[in-house]
């Protein structure tokens, strides 16, 4: 029987991921004629009706780019001096398999690369290395667009004549997409400002006015406040939407780039959007050190003991620390 080394398995997984992503990009985009033949629900004015509860079924939530499975969301070097031989870092060690990251073919179109500037690439790496401290998701901040669209939670679309409302399960986030002329927000926001138009059966949405405080995924991919998104929602069938997003941010990337994925309708007969008000569950994470006697400082199980030590990085204010 042939034995496979860990390195060989990882190389094979990465090659398969790249080939799979390339094959997916060769698939033709849905046409308006195909949409008309698929029994797409329509509104009174003839446009596709996207109303319903939807969810992305992929791994973009962990990392937009193609990647092999890895043992922890945060890792550190193991015994062997190879990148693939990393082990879970102490904060996620006790999570076992639940703290790992599944492999993915990726959702970044083209060559699969995110074209960071050299300065931004260094920040992205630091974000990944300090995920627990920096990822806004862990603090239950509003997830932003496009991240809210492919988190592993359902979201609901309610389509009207001049507005489309989207409600997200995670942290009760919401966005309004405007067809009519409206004033932009008085300040930049987490979820951006969305203005839409129709191109045939495709809903095209321009999203601007971001505050630069959100990420794209758990891998540390990020953007600045000048982010401009162009979203395209094209019906595939009555129960599937092709979702494409062009990302333009000259402060962070050397050129525009695109992500692409299907969104699937939740078909349970009793499906409804439930609340996940996660802010109630992260208060101890954010502010537990301000208690006279912290409630969470030690956990002892059958095989492991976890001691929690909180600190404020030198030179930071508490306010800056909480906003990370």
**Cis before residue 5, ω within 30 degrees of 0?**
no
Identify whether the C-beta of residue 173 lies closer than 8 Å to the C-beta of residue 143. yes
Q: Both 254 and 308 in a single domain?
A: no
Query: Which domain covers residue 301, as residue numbers?
Result: 288-323
Q: Is 4 exposed, middle or buried (0-12, 13-18, 19+ CB in 10 A)?
A: exposed
Phi/psi of residue 111, nearest 5 degrees: -85, 0
Coil vs helix vs strand at 297 = coil
Cβ atoms within 10 Å, residue 92: 18
Residue 31: predicted pLDDT: 54
Residue 46: predicted pLDDT: 95
For residue 205, tell me if it sits in a domain.
yes
For residue 13, tell me if it sits in a domain.
yes
Phi/psi of residue 69, nearest 5 degrees: -60, 145
Q: Both 318 and 228 in a single domain?
A: no
Q: Kindly give the confidence (pLDDT) of every residue in the chain, 324 residues in length, as a single tens digit, with 9 standing for 90 and above.
A: 444 444 444 444 444 444 444 444 444 555 555 555 568 999 999 999 999 999 999 999 999 999 999 999 998 888 877 666 889 998 899 899 999 999 999 999 999 999 999 999 999 999 999 999 999 999 999 999 999 999 999 999 999 999 999 999 999 999 999 999 999 999 999 999 999 999 999 999 999 999 999 999 999 999 999 999 999 999 999 999 999 999 999 999 999 999 999 999 999 999 999 999 999 999 988 888 888 888 988 889 899 998 888 876 555 554 454 444
Tell me 292's DSSP state: S
Residue 80: predicted pLDDT: 79
Q: Both 261 and 300 in a single domain?
A: no
Cβ atoms within 10 Å, residue 229: 21
Exposure pattern of 274-288 as b/e (b: 16+ CB <10 Å)? eebebeeebeeeeee
The torsion region of residue 172 among left (phi > 0), alpha (psi -120 to 50) and beta comes to: left
Q: Both 296 and 195 in a single domain?
A: no
> What element of type H or E holds 229?
strand 228-237
Q: What is the CATH number of the domain that holds 219?
A: 2.40.128.20
Q: Both 206 and 307 in a single domain?
A: no
Identify whether the C-beta of residue 190 lies closer than 8 Å to the C-beta of residue 211. yes
For residue 91, tell me if it sits in a domain.
no
The domain tally of the chain equals: 2
Q: Both 207 and 305 in a single domain?
A: no
Residue matched to tokens 């095989």: 303
How far CA 3 is from CA of 15, 53, 82, in Å, comes to 19, 46, 19
Residues in the chain: 324
Q: What is the dihedral of CA 93, 96, 99, 104, to 10 degrees?
A: 130
Whether the predicted model's global pTM rises above the 0.85 cut: no
CA 126 – CA 53 distance, rounded (Å)? 36
Coil vs helix vs strand at 34 = helix
Closest CA to 177 of 148, 219, 200, 153: 148
Q: Both 107 and 187 in a single domain?
A: yes
Q: Both 177 and 315 in a single domain?
A: no
Structure token pair of residue 119: 């300065």
Q: Both 261 and 307 in a single domain?
A: no
Question: Helices (H), strands (E): how many in the chain?
Answer: 8, 13
Identify whether the C-beta of residue 140 lies closer than 8 Å to the C-beta of residue 153. no
CA 301 – CA 242 distance, rounded (Å)? 45
Q: Both 178 and 34 in a single domain?
A: yes
Identify whether the C-beta of residue 235 lies closer than 8 Å to the C-beta of residue 50. yes
Identify whether the C-beta of residue 271 lies closer than 8 Å to the C-beta of residue 53. yes
Q: Both 257 and 296 in a single domain?
A: no
Residue 76: predicted pLDDT: 87
CA 94 – CA 306 distance, rounded (Å)? 8
Coil vs helix vs strand at 171 = coil
For residue 282, tell me if it sits in a domain.
no
Residue 34: predicted pLDDT: 55
């Amino acid at each position: 029987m042939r034995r496979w080394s860990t390195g060989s398995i990882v190389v094979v997984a990465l090659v398969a991921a790249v080939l799979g992503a390339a094959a997916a990009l060769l698939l033709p985009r849905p046409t308006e004629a195909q949409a008309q033949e698929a029994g797409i629900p329509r509104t009174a004015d003839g446009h596709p009706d996207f109303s319903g509860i939807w969810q992305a079924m992929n791994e973009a939530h962990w990392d937009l780019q193609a990647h092999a499975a890895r043992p922890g969301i945060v890792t550190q070097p193991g015994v062997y001096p190879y990148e693939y031989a990393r082990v879970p870092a102490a904060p996620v060690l006790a999570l076992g398999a639940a703290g790992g990251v599944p492999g993915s073919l990726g959702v970044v179109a083209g060559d699969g690369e995110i074209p960071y500037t050299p300065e931004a690439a260094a920040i992205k790496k630091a974000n990944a290395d300090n995920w627990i401290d920096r990822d806004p998701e862990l603090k239950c901040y509003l997830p932003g667009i496009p991240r809210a669209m492919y988190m592993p939670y359902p979201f609901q679309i309610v389509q009207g004549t001049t507005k489309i409302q989207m409600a997200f399960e995670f942290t009760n986030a919401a966005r309004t997409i405007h067809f009519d002329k409206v004033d932009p927000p008085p300040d930049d926001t987490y979820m951006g400002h969305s203005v839409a138009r129709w191109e045939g059966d495709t809903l095209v949405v321009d999203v601007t006015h971001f505050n630069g405080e959100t990420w794209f995924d758990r891998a540390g991919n990020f953007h600045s406040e000048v982010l401009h998104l162009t979203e395209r929602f094209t019906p595939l069938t009555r129960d599937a939407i092709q979702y494409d997003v062009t990302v333009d941010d000259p402060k962070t990337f050397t050129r525009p780039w695109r992500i692409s994925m299907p969104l699937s309708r939740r078909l349970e007969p009793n499906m409804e959007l439930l609340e996940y008000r996660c802010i109630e569950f992260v208060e101890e994470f954010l502010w537990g050190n301000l208690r006279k006697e912290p409630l969470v400082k030690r956990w002892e199980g059958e095989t492991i003991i976890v001691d929690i030590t909180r600190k404020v990085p030198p030179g930071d204010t508490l306010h800056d620390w909480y906003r990370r």
